[in-house]
Amino acid sequence: MLKSIPTPSRSEFGIGPFTVHFYALCIIFGIAVAIYWGDRRFRQRGGAPNFVADVAVVAVPLGIIGGRLYHLITSPDAYFGANGKPLDAFKIWQGGLGIWGAISLGTLGAWWQYRRIARTGRGGALSFAIFADCLAPGVLIAQALGRVGNWFNAELFGRPTNLPWGLEIPLVDRPPGYENFLTFHPTFLYESLWCILLAFLILWLEKKLVKGQAFLLYIATYCVGRFFIESLRIDSAHTIAGLRVNEWVSAIVAIGAFIAFKRAGIASKRVD
C-alpha cells in the first residue's frame, strides 16, 4: 500500500565525460512530444508538413530563455542576493523555468517565425490562431512531462502533509523551519495531472470552439489550476498583499485569457 512518494535518489547519470540530468531529459522529451503532436494536428487541419518544427527552431530556444529570465526576475536572491551565486543563473538543469516567461517569449518567437515563413509564400501556412490551437494539447503534455523533472530535483513541493501520496523530501532539501517534517504535498504532481486533464478537455471541446479559443482556453484554465497549486508551495517567493507573485500573475493572466476567449467567440458570431 502506498504510504508516500519517495524522491529519486539520483537526479543525473554519467555517459563518459558527460553528465545527463533527468530534469533536462524531461524537458527535451516534452518538447519533442509537443512538436510531433503539434505537427500531426497541424497537418490534419491542412497545414504544411514540418511547419511546426521550423517554427520551433526559434520558439523553443526563446521559450527556454524567457522561462529562465522570468525565474531570475521573480527569484533573484539565490543568484544576486547577499549570498547568491550569479553563475548559477546559467545552470538551468538544476530547475528554475518560469512558465509565464516561457509561454510569453516562446509564443512571441513562434508568432515572429510563423509570419516570417508565411511571407516566403510557403503553402499550408493557415493562420497563426489555428497553429496555436494545434499546439495547445501537446504543450500541456510537455509541461506535464517537464514537471516530472522537478521530482528528480526534489523541488516544487508544497506544505507538509500526511496524505498517502505525500512526497518524501530529503532533509538537505527541506526549507528552513520544516526540517522535522518528512512528507509534503507533491505540487509538481498536481500540476502535471492538471495539465494532462486540460489536454483531454481541449481535445473534447475543440470541435465546439472557434479558431484561437483552444489556445486561450489552455492559458486560462492552466492559470486557474496554477493559482491554487501555487498557494500550497512553501519555497521562498516575493509576495504582494499576502499573495505570492506567481499567484497574482496566474490570476491576471487567467482573467485576460478568459476575456480574450469570450471576445473570440463574439467576433466569430459577427463574421457568421
Give the pTM: 0.91
CA 246 – CA 56 distance, rounded (Å)? 26
Q: How does pLDDT run along the chain (272 residues), one tens digit per residue?
A: 467 899 999 988 888 888 888 999 999 999 999 999 999 999 999 999 999 999 999 999 999 999 888 888 877 777 776 777 777 777 777 777 788 889 899 999 999 999 999 888 777 788 999 999 999 999 999 999 999 999 999 988 999 999 999 999 999 999 999 999 999 999 999 999 999 999 999 999 999 999 999 999 999 999 999 999 999 998 877 888 989 989 999 999 999 999 999 999 887 666 54
Residue 236 buriedness (CB in 10 A; 0-12 / 13-18 / 19+): exposed
C-alpha Rg value of the chain to the nearest Å = 20
Domain extent listing, the chain: 12-159+181-271
